[in-house]
């Protein structure tokens, strides 16, 4: 059986956060992924006016998004991924 693991790892003013969720359908994981990306972008704008870097990739059974404050990654960043895993 395949599952889709949604992982969010971030730092908001040096306060680290982690969130893991597991879905049986990629579409469900992708819907949540898109919600988290939207929230991360809005939160980043509230936290800093510095230049922010972003990268987003989606490939059918996996997705990746990362945003961070240029020059101070440890203070402000958020990375969200979906990966496909086989479970027995």
pLDDT of amino acid 26: 94
**pLDDT tens sequence across 25-45:** 999 999 999 999 999 999 888
The residue ranking higher by pLDDT, 88 or 82, is: 82
User: pTM of the prediction?
Assistant: 0.88
Helix (H, G, I), strand (E, B) or coil at 79: strand
User: Which residues are CB-contacts of 70 (< 8 A; sequence separation ≥ 6)?
Assistant: 50, 51, 52, 53
pLDDT of amino acid 58: 78
Chain centroid to CA 41: 10
pLDDT of amino acid 65: 92
Burial environment of residue 60 by CB neighbours within 10 A (0 to 12, 13 to 18, 19 or more): exposed
């Amino acid at each position: 059986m395949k599952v889709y693991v949604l992982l969010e790892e971030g730092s908001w003013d040096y306060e680290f956060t982690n969130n893991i969720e597991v879905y049986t359908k990629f579409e469900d994981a992708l819907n949540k992924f898109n919600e988290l990306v939207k929230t991360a972008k809005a939160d980043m704008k509230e936290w800093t006016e510095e230049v922010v870097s972003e990268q987003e990739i989606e490939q059918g059974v996996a997705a990746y998004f990362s945003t961070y404050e240029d020059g101070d990654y440890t203070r402000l960043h958020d990375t969200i991924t979906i990966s496909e895993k086989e479970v027995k």
